[in-house]
């Protein structure tokens, strides 16, 4: 036997196996998605999204307090307006009395250390359910969309958000938002976390159930990236980096580790964020229910994969469990 053929000695003991990790999961890398509704006493479970709830402002704080006590460092907010009419431009998105702006203020009052990320999109707030403003023919009006998205982002920043995460996928929205922050003298205080490599596909269903954000017609294939487009994702990552993104999100995660690795190489000087989306999360739960996997083991195996692929931050519905497990 060649001496160099022997590897097993390096990982025979559990600790030596831990030592093989370039990076290890830690509480401070988790960002927990929160669905905030405009019904103040709501605490509604979401059938298709296990263990997740839609929170009214009265129930949100006590819930988040339990997680902060376990070491939660960051949340990402998704507003779910249920009692107001939606319109073509998503006016409700930055309604000063709406769920997102109210939640930003409430969370900052109660948890001054908590890092608040706001997803910025229109689909939860538009009558048509698309992520932008539409032209007559039902395709996206890019200019109006990026103006609207930038205004919503600016208003979240004015309300106190620490970080903006535009998930709309409109071309040029990062530049537009960065400029709006500069003009508002907020650019030095607010991080811009772009969903740069975000793919259309079949893994967002539970989220859309939770947020009521299904497109009323068509789909998002014309503005979220085609799952086959590895090169296109690289172009989007380069573009957003050049437009001023301070972090880039790859989403979904499990089927896109190659893209995550490219992101870590192309955007080597900014954090890459893995978003373990609702469909991926629900699939692992379904597999665990059928005893195909152990839930904790598969959560670690999948999330360690994101670190191996170069992610530094993880948006995950498993965050509460990891606060117990880590």
Ligand X SMILES: NCC[C@H](CC(=O)O)[C@@H](CN)CCC(=O)O
Region 19-38 residues binding ligand X, contact defined as CB under 6 A = none
Distance from C-alpha of 289 to C-alpha of 272, rounded to nearest angstrom: 31
Q: How many Cα atoms within 13 Å fall on the side-chain side of residue 315? A: 29
Secondary structure class of 164 (helix, strand, coil): strand
Residue 180 or 282 with smaller CB distance to ligand X: 282
How many residues belong to the site for Zn ion (CB under 5 A)? 3
d(C-alpha 130, C-alpha 289), whole Å: 33
**Residue among 53, 86, 178, 251 flagged as catalytic:** 251
| Residues 194 and 249: beta-carbon distance below 8 Å | yes
251 is annotated as an active-site residue: yes
Q: Exactly one of 198, 261, 296, 312 is catalytic; name it.
A: 198
CA atoms within 13 A on the CB side of 208: 16
What Å distances lie between residue 20 and 16, 109, 116, 227, 254, CA to CA? Answer: 7, 41, 33, 31, 21
Q: Which is nearer to ligand X, 262 or 278 (CB)?
A: 278
Binding mask 181-210 for ligand X (x = CB under 6 A): -----------------------x--xx--
Q: Which does 125 bind (CB under 5 to 8 A by kind): Zn ion, ligand X, none?
A: none
Residue 18 in 3-state DSSP?
helix
Site for ligand X contains 178 (CB under 6 A): no
| Listed ranges 7-15, 88-96, 117-125, 179-187: which one lies at the site for ligand X (CB under 6 A) | 117-125
Query: Interacting stretch for ligand X, rule CB under 6 A, among 17-25, 115-123, 171-179, 297-305?
Result: 115-123
237 DSSP 8-state letter: H
**Nearer Cβ to ligand X (104/131):** 131
Q: Under the criterion CB under 6 A, does residue 148 sit at the interface with ligand X? A: no
Is residue 167 part of the contact set for ligand X (CB under 6 A)? Answer: yes
3-state secondary structure 109-138: HHCCCCEEEEEECCCCCECCCCCCCECCCC
131 binds Zn ion (CB under 5 A): yes
Q: How far is Cα 193 from Cα 171, in angstroms, rounded to an integer?
A: 15
Q: Does 220 bind ligand X (CB under 6 A)?
A: yes
Between the two ends of the chain, the Cα-to-Cα distance in Å is 40
Work out whether 93 is an interface residue with Zn ion (CB under 5 A): no
Check binding of 152 to ligand X (CB under 6 A).
no
Shortest Å, Cβ 12 to ligand X: 39
Q: Which of 34, 49, 101, 123 binds Zn ion (CB under 5 A)?
A: 123
Residue 119, binding choice from Zn ion, ligand X, none, Cβ under 5 to 8 Å by partner class: ligand X
Which partner from the list ligand X, Zn ion, none does 208 bind, CB cut-off 5 to 8 Å by kind? ligand X
Among positions 25, 274, 277, 284, the unique one binding ligand X when judged by CB under 6 A: 277
Nearest distance, CB of residue 124 and ligand X, angstroms: 8
Q: Are 42 and 81 in contact (CB under 8 A)?
A: no
Give the closest residue to 252 by CA, choosing from 279, 223, 286, 221: 279
Are the CB atoms for 5 and 15 separated by under 8 Å?
Answer: no
Contacting positions for ligand X (CB under 6 A): 119, 121, 123, 131, 167-168, 204, 207-208, 213, 220, 277-278
Catalytic residue IDs: 198, 251
């Amino acid at each position: 036997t060649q001496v160099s053929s022997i590897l097993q000695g390096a990982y025979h003991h559990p600790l030596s196996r831990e030592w093989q990790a370039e990076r290890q999961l830690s509480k401070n890398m988790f960002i927990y998605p929160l669905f905030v509704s405009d019904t103040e006493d709501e605490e509604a479970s979401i059938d298709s999204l296990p263990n997740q709830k839609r929170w009214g402002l009265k129930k949100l704080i006590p819930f988040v307090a339990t997680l902060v006590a376990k070491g939660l460092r960051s949340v990402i907010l998704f507003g779910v307006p249920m009692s107001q009419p939606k319109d073509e431009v998503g006016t409700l998105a930055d309604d000063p009395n709406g769920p997102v702006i109210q939640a930003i203020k409430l969370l900052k009052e109660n948890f001054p250390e908590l890092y608040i990320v706001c997803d910025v999109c229109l689909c939860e707030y538009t009558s048509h359910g698309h992520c932008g403003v539409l032209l007559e023919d039902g395709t996206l009006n890019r200019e109006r969309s990026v103006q609207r998205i930038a205004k919503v982002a600016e208003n979240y920043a004015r309300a106190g958000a620490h970080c903006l995460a535009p998930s709309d996928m409109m071309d040029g929205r990062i530049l537009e938002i960065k400029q709006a922050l500069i003009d508002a003298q907020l650019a030095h205080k607010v991080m811009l976390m772009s969903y740069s490599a975000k793919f259309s596909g079949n893994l967002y269903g539970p989220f859309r159930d939770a947020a009521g954000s299904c497109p009323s017609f068509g789909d998002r294939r014309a503005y979220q990236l085609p799952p086959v487009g590895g090169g296109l994702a690289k172009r989007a990552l380069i573009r957003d980096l050049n437009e001023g993104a301070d972090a880039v999100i790859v989403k979904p995660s499990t089927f896109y580790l190659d893209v995550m690795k490219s992101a870590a190489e192309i955007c080597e000087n900014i954090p890459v964020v893995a978003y373990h989306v609702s469909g991926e999360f629900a699939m692992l739960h379904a597999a665990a229910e059928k005893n195909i996997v152990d839930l904790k083991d598969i959560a670690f195996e999948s999330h360690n994969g994101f670190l191996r692929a170069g992610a530094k931050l993880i948006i995950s519905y498993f965050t509460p469990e990891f606060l117990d497990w880590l």
